[in-house]
Amino acid sequence: MARLGIDVGGTFVDLVLEDENGGLFFEKVLAEPEDLVGAITSGVSAVLDQAHVPAGDVREAVHATTRGSNTVLERTGPSTAFLATRGFRDILQIQRALRWSMYDVQLGKPRPLVERSLSFELSERTLADGSVLIPLREEEVRAVAAEIRETGAQALAVTFLHSYANPDHERRAAEILAKELPGMVITVSSDVSLQAREYERANTAVVNSYIATAVSEYLRELVERLPSVGIDVPVWIMQSSGGLASMDQVLERPVRTLESGPAAGVVGAARFGSSLGYPDVLSFDMGGTTAKAAVVHGGMPATTSYFELQRVGNRRGSGLPVDIAALDLVEIGTGGGSIAEVREGTLRVGPRSAGADPGPACYGRGGTAPTVTDANLLLGYCDPSAFSGGITLDVEAAEAAVDGLAASLGIDRLRAAWGIHEVATLDMEHAIRLVSINRGFDPRTLALVCLGGGGPVHGPRLARALGVEVAVVPLAASGGSARGLLEASVSMELTRTSLLRLDDDEATVRCKAVLAELVEEAHRSSFRSGEEVRVVCTLGMRYVGQGHEFLVPVDVEQADAGRIAEIFEERYVQAYGYAEQGHPVEVVTWHVALVKQRAERQVTSQRASRADAGVPARRTVYYPETGLVDVDVHQRSSLRPGGVLLGPCLVAETTTTTVVLPGDEVEVAADGSLLVHVLGTK
Amino acid sequence: MSASDHARVDPLTVAVVWGRLAAIAEEMAEAQQRCAFSDQVREGGDYSTAVFDAAGRMLAQANRSPAHLGAMPHVVQHMLDAYPADTLAPGDVIVLNDPHMGSGHLPDFFAMSPAFRSGHLVGFVVSCIHLTDIGGPAPGSQAVVGVTEGVQEGLRLLPTRLYREGEPVREIFDLIGANVRVPELVLGDVRAQRAALHVGATKLAQFHGQVGSPVVDAAAEEFLAQSEQAVRRELLGIPDGTATFVDYLDDYGPGSPPIRLEVTVTISGSDLLFDFTGTDPQTPSSLNCTMSYLKAYCFWVAKAITTRDTIPQNEGQLRPLRIVAPPGCFFNPLPPAALNGRALLNQRIVELLFGALSKIVPDRVCAASGQWTNPIFGGIDPATGRTFVFYDYVMGGVGARASKDGLDAIPPTVSVENIPVEAQEARNPIIVERYELIPDSGGAGRWRGGLGVRKDIRMLADDVVLSNLTDRHVYPAYGLFGGQDGLLGETVLNPGRADEHRLHSKEVVHLVRGDVVSFRCSGSGGYGPPSERPREKVLEDVREGRVTPRSASELYGVETES
């Protein structure tokens, strides 16, 4: 059977088709904003034609959508109302009140999705232990429903204090509101998040209601129109957690799809790593405007239960928080189009970007600012005549752009180009340290999987800086997110806040009970009985009295309280250098993911005496280790599994180039991946 | 050492070193927050971290509380005087909280570790946390009234070794634990400082190993100079001038007089002078401000009008700034002055300076902001039978800017953030009954001031002691250029009940179960005359409930239907 992956990004729709023999075909079409579904269907036709696969052979389609996040970014959702516990209608206005840019007198707060005039409240109160202080009065709910009806709002979010501990009031209110307000999209907070911290949970409910209509209209149109190109099969949607969900599940909780696209890349990296024998990887996906990084441990991407939409410059508090299971990604404003400039006497790269239009100076579309891609061109890392998407690069324009920068720094052109490359790599290195070391993962034990157009160009250098021993460049790395879609599994994640001290007598019994309950709930809502699933369990733990949880993966079969506490302490010491000797440990959050098993791909190992079956070209390239040097440019399509190439050299393909550093060694894996072994020293 | 003593490093190496040192300070900050036990550190962000070179110069500070910036170099110097560098070993931690050695007030607890690379000292890493309690007369150690001497305020540590080569010095832990109300929280936070120092010292040593100490030192020399130049370049773009401004603190406790604050700002070429002559003498209460705290917020202002957030905080940017405050004045108090109540002053130093600077750089300042409130409750939690200290922040807003309205509910000058009500109620015997914006509290203007905030808290414990700490119950947040002042703040006990009455802004008061304290932060000042505010903006404010129809009519001359 054939399978289809459809990844919608900012500028392009990436499509990938896997035929029944495991052959992969890629297609890229412009994401026309006026008729996105039309762009998708024409892309589907194109990739089927290219592969000579009849549409009827496609048994499954997997999709990553940005519709939800774009609705928030562009503020195109419907008029949305908010209902809270009396005294708390301003939760969305007050927020966490973090001064996210300390010295900026012109600072702004993230703009809420709900206007203050559409915020309502009613008398009810649940306490932190779940007990009810003030009962919900049904006639008051009906009265407030009438007020909300008057406003003409089309969507509504309800957040009562401590509903994570006892959701009764929210649920009862939702029943009454649904009756009183037919046609209204209603989300109650305990339905999308069971975590304490009222602002974050309230905002999650608001986002869910705000994007629901746009997401459902779009997905329905997609499902209606795919049959016109012969695709009439179930469409699975990538969630922010990296797992797939059915259309129905997504329509219930669209908020879970916000980070659909970025998640796909990480899922891909996890699978590429695992199939090559690297279960622990750093996923590094560098595109035109940003780079994204995430850690994968034991084949499973690290997850978080919190992220922010529209964050500015990676600063916490600058975006709208969402409490959902998401892959723990860090996004860096460094991409191929990032502009280099001198600020405060020092070279900086990004976050300003030349975007796709005008793009880097070398695109020849009128851009004059030097970008990362311009620098890479001048360093010899890209082929001017065969760049991604068939663009011919304008070397002179790149030179002129970089010369301006070089002059203001008082250095020569080549040094400036190297500087841009180096500073861009450094910024990414810092961001990666934050998601790895600070989460207790040592980058030196991870393999770096390089995706996106820029991943293979910067990856080997980044690997060296991080102390990583091997960088992996999968086939068609630049379309990594679309490929990741085909590697994802159907999954269901649940997170719950529930305190359990591990030194309690009954801790092991309770621990097993909570997990069993969550597993059962996840199973009931997503899988048919008897379906083969893998249970992945992660506990958010801390010393009693602390406020932040450290995520610790545990084996659900061996959920012994003492052992769990030991694992926690091991991780804690690794990260912070000490343990709180004898201090009790508690579990706060319980994350359970059920993942439908997928058959592992079989890859047979091969040996080749000569890596390159063709005749490599030569090009002059700059490395700080060697200065300007002539190196071989191997065509990726002519490389043979089992062969080894020695750096310095380049491996070129139509959409990207792998830059192999002096002293490093490239092994061509059986599946065609490049394994860049970092042997050279910094 | 001057720059010429070092091998020259190119601008790219400078960028690499600078970026890495700033990242180390951030990684320390994240470790500290994640390991901390108290709400104000783990949720509220009241701490800071920094990286120093072996000569004791601050190279990078995390983007957290700015309060400790001016203080840290001073603190490190005192620590090194007591424990010279050649007596320090890897894993040592030196602490101090003496206000006159840089801490500014006793709750700010500084910790420092040396970083060694192959036996050679390569620098220092420093952490500061606002501890929940350090002893003294009232829970939370910030009582203003009834305190006239520093020795009344709690435990004071001169430089003291807390860890010796990684091993805790038990006697010192015992000493601290025995002198504070909530030893578990306090010692947990202190150990979190140690986690941050461990992370920082390890990273700093690794980095020196990677690029070589001479390169780090030379690059540091260079970026400190560049930082100074960046500030100077901006200052050269500002016209020379001198301006004076006067503001008042309401008082320093019930029945006390107002405190006059005065500053004269002089910009001359690329130099900046802040002269606080004319300010009242120090007070016989804990409301006084040490020079180190004054310096931190003078620096805040210098940065806000020049480099803002474009470059990370470091010592180079302090160089163009000179500060004068006569000894014995409110801003330069002499022993035995009490000092613990200073928390409300951070924004007031900035507002005083902005008032003067508004006459020179009107588009780089904002009108006065809503005064934040920092109440602390303490007593016995009936649920656990143990002492609790409930430390809260209630943030007013930010004053209007030259081309923007102010902001509601966000601190004007600090990095602390709201502690979630759900977290507060889970850990303390209280119920928060409301938390909302106060309509009409923002000063009217072409650009309207941010609204103040009201937070009502009910006691679930018997016999609770509250130290109130706020201001602008008497003197409002000023508006600029015809913008009106913000609404005054107030603290009300038991609103709506027969025994309702106002509490003083710095009162220490005993509460009983069922009492409700309503904190109403003052509103922020407006900017420009209200008559110039576009009608649509006024109508939007009325629709959004930020301005009442009556005020729209009276202050803006805009009539609304119904």
Asked if A346 lies within 8 A of B411 by C-beta distance, the reply is no
Chain A hits for B312, CB-CB cut-off 8 Å, are none
Chain B hits for A348, CB-CB cut-off 8 Å, are 15
Q: Determine which of A79, A134, A344 to mutate to test the interface with B (most B C-beta atoms within 10 Å).
A: A344
Chain A hits for B30, CB-CB cut-off 8 Å, are 434, 438
Asked if A430 lies within 8 A of B366 by C-beta distance, the reply is no
Residue A390: per-residue pLDDT: 60
Mean pLDDT of chain A: 88
B232 close to A (CB below 8 A): no
H/E element, A492 = strand A491-501
Restricting to B residues 92-151, those with a Cβ less than 8 Å away from any Cβ of A are: none
Asked if B420 lies within 8 A of A197 by C-beta distance, the reply is yes
In sequence order, the β-bridge partners of residue B329 are: B281
> DSSP letters of A203-215?
HHHHHHHHHHHHH
Residue A357 burial by Cβ neighbours in a 10 Å radius (0-12, 13-18, 19+): exposed
> DSSP letters of A153-182?
-SEEEEE-TTTTT--HHHHHHHHHHHHHST
Chain B hits for A437, CB-CB cut-off 8 Å, are 27
Alpha helices in A26-180 (DSSP H): 36-51, 67-73, 91-94, 138-151, 168-180
Residue B180: per-residue pLDDT: 97
| Stronger pLDDT, B216 or A14, i.e. the higher one | B216
| pLDDT, one tens digit for every residue, chain B (562 residues) | 344 444 578 776 787 788 788 888 988 998 999 899 988 888 777 889 999 999 999 999 887 777 776 788 889 999 999 999 999 999 999 999 999 998 889 999 999 999 999 999 999 999 999 999 999 999 999 999 989 999 999 999 999 999 999 999 999 999 999 999 999 999 999 999 999 999 999 999 998 998 899 999 999 999 999 999 999 999 999 999 999 999 999 999 999 999 999 999 999 999 999 999 999 999 999 999 999 899 989 999 999 999 888 777 788 888 999 999 999 999 999 999 999 999 889 999 999 999 999 999 999 999 999 999 999 999 999 999 999 999 998 999 999 999 999 999 999 998 888 889 999 999 899 999 999 999 999 999 999 999 999 999 999 999 999 999 999 999 999 999 999 999 999 999 999 999 999 999 999 999 999 999 999 999 999 999 999 999 999 999 999 999 999 999 999 999 986 5
Chain A hits for B415, CB-CB cut-off 8 Å, are 98-99, 102
Using pLDDT thresholds of 50, 70 and 90, give the confidence band for residue A303: confident
Q: Give A13's DSSP letter.
A: E
Residue-wise pLDDT for A263-299, tens only, equals 999 998 998 898 899 999 999 998 877 888 998 988 8
Type of residue numbered A435: V
Q: Which residue of B has its CA nearest to A96?
A: B418
**B520 token code pair:** 């109403």
Which one of A109, A343, A419 has the shortest CB-CB distance to B310?
A: A343
B431 close to A (CB below 8 A): yes
Chain A hits for B309, CB-CB cut-off 8 Å, are 101-104
B524 close to A (CB below 8 A): no
Asked if A546 lies within 8 A of B36 by C-beta distance, the reply is yes
Asked if A577 lies within 8 A of B199 by C-beta distance, the reply is yes
Fold entry, domain A75-211: Dna Topoisomerase Vi A Subunit; Chain: A, domain 2 (3.40.1360)
Residue A305: per-residue pLDDT: 74
Alpha helices in B358-455 (DSSP H): 421-427
Asked if B19 lies within 8 A of A427 by C-beta distance, the reply is yes
Asked if A430 lies within 8 A of B23 by C-beta distance, the reply is yes
Q: Does position A146 have pLDDT exceeding 50, yes or no?
A: yes
Cα–Cα dist B436/B439, whole Å: 9
Mean pLDDT over A1-18 rounds to 85
Mean pLDDT over A354-360 rounds to 76
Residue B265: per-residue pLDDT: 98
Residue A530: per-residue pLDDT: 67
Q: CB count, 10 Å around CB of B197?
A: 29
Sheet holding B464-467, edge to edge: B386-391, B376-381, B464-467, B508-511
Residue-wise pLDDT for A613-670, tens only, equals 788 899 999 999 999 999 999 999 899 998 899 989 999 987 789 999 999 999 999 8
Chain B hits for A543, CB-CB cut-off 8 Å, are 37, 188
CB pairs under 8 A between A and B: 215
Asked if B415 lies within 8 A of A102 by C-beta distance, the reply is yes
Asked if B434 lies within 8 A of A103 by C-beta distance, the reply is no
Which one of A97, A116, A437 has the shortest CB-CB distance to B395?
A: A97
Closest CA to A456 of A310, A622, A287, A576: A287
- The nearest CA of chain B is from the CA of A104 a distance in Å of 6
Chain B hits for A321, CB-CB cut-off 8 Å, are none
Residue whose pair of structure tokens reads 């026309």 in the numeric block: A32
Are the CB atoms for A147 and A178 separated by under 8 Å? no
- The nearest CA of chain A is from the CA of B148 a distance in Å of 34
Cα–Cα dist B480/B361, whole Å: 12
Beta strands in A252-290 (DSSP E): 281-286
- Highest mean pLDDT of the ranges A4-13, A607-616, B422-431: B422-431
Chain A hits for B185, CB-CB cut-off 8 Å, are 545
Residue B170 burial by Cβ neighbours in a 10 Å radius (0-12, 13-18, 19+): exposed
Asked if B31 lies within 8 A of A575 by C-beta distance, the reply is yes
- The nearest CA of chain A is from the CA of B70 a distance in Å of 15
Q: Determine which of B436, B480, B562 to mutate to test the interface with A (most A C-beta atoms within 10 Å).
A: B436
Chain A hits for B361, CB-CB cut-off 8 Å, are none
In b/e form, how buried is each residue of B305-331, taking b as 16+ CB within 10 angstroms? Answer: bbbbbebbbbbbbbbbbebebeeebbb
Across A92-101, A541-550, B535-544, least confident range? A541-550
Which one of B27, B39, B303 has the shortest CB-CB distance to A103?
A: B303
H/E element, A472 = strand A470-473
Asked if A94 lies within 8 A of B437 by C-beta distance, the reply is yes
Q: Determine which of B206, B231, B418 to mutate to test the interface with A (most A C-beta atoms within 10 Å).
A: B418
Cα–Cα dist B366/B354, whole Å: 7
Q: Do domains A75-211 and A491-596 have the same CATH topology?
A: no
- The nearest CA of chain A is from the CA of B86 a distance in Å of 24
Beta strands in A427-469 (DSSP E): 447-451
Cα–Cα dist A203/A189, whole Å: 8
Vertex A179: Cα angle to A174 and A185 (nearest 5): 60
Residue A227, C-beta contacts closer than 8 angstroms, at least 6 positions apart: none
B423 close to A (CB below 8 A): yes
- The nearest CA of chain A is from the CA of B324 a distance in Å of 23
Please give the C-alpha separations between residue B197 and each of A61, B91, B113, B126, B205, in angstroms, as whole numbers.
50, 9, 6, 7, 12
Restricting to B residues 448-487, those with a Cβ less than 8 Å away from any Cβ of A are: 453, 456
**pTM of the predicted protein model:** 0.89
Asked if A87 lies within 8 A of B198 by C-beta distance, the reply is no
Closest CA to A363 of A622, A635, A11, A621: A11
Are the CB atoms for A340 and A401 separated by under 8 Å? no
Q: What are the boundaries of each domain within chain A?
A: 2-72+216-257, 75-211, 491-596
Residue A302: per-residue pLDDT: 80
Superfamily of domain A2-72+216-257: ATPase, nucleotide binding domain (3.30.420.40)
- The nearest CA of chain B is from the CA of A526 a distance in Å of 31
B16 close to A (CB below 8 A): yes
Q: Does position A2 have pLDDT exceeding 60, yes or no?
A: yes
Residue-wise pLDDT for A421-456, tens only, equals 999 998 898 888 777 765 656 778 899 999 988 999
Residue-wise pLDDT for A188-215, tens only, equals 999 998 888 999 999 999 999 999 999 9
Chain B hits for A580, CB-CB cut-off 8 Å, are 188, 191
Are the CB atoms for B522 and B487 separated by under 8 Å? yes
Asked if A104 lies within 8 A of B309 by C-beta distance, the reply is yes
Are the CB atoms for A127 and B431 separated by under 8 Å? yes
Residue whose pair of structure tokens reads 């932190």 in the numeric block: A128
Q: How many percent of chain A have pLDDT more than 70?
A: 94
Restricting to B residues 434-453, those with a Cβ less than 8 Å away from any Cβ of A are: 434-437, 453
Please give the C-alpha separations between residue B313 and each of A660, B50, B252, in angstroms, as whole numbers.
37, 9, 32
Cα–Cα dist B476/A675, whole Å: 67
Cα–Cα dist B16/B215, whole Å: 11
Residue whose pair of structure tokens reads 């910790």 in the numeric block: B111
Residue A557, C-beta contacts closer than 8 angstroms, at least 6 positions apart: none
- The nearest CA of chain B is from the CA of A221 a distance in Å of 36
Asked if B422 lies within 8 A of A198 by C-beta distance, the reply is yes
Q: Sign of torsion, CA B503 B507 B510 B511?
A: positive
Looking at domain A491-596, which of 3.10.450, 3.40.50, 3.30.200, 3.30.1490 is its CATH number?
3.30.1490
Residue A427: per-residue pLDDT: 86
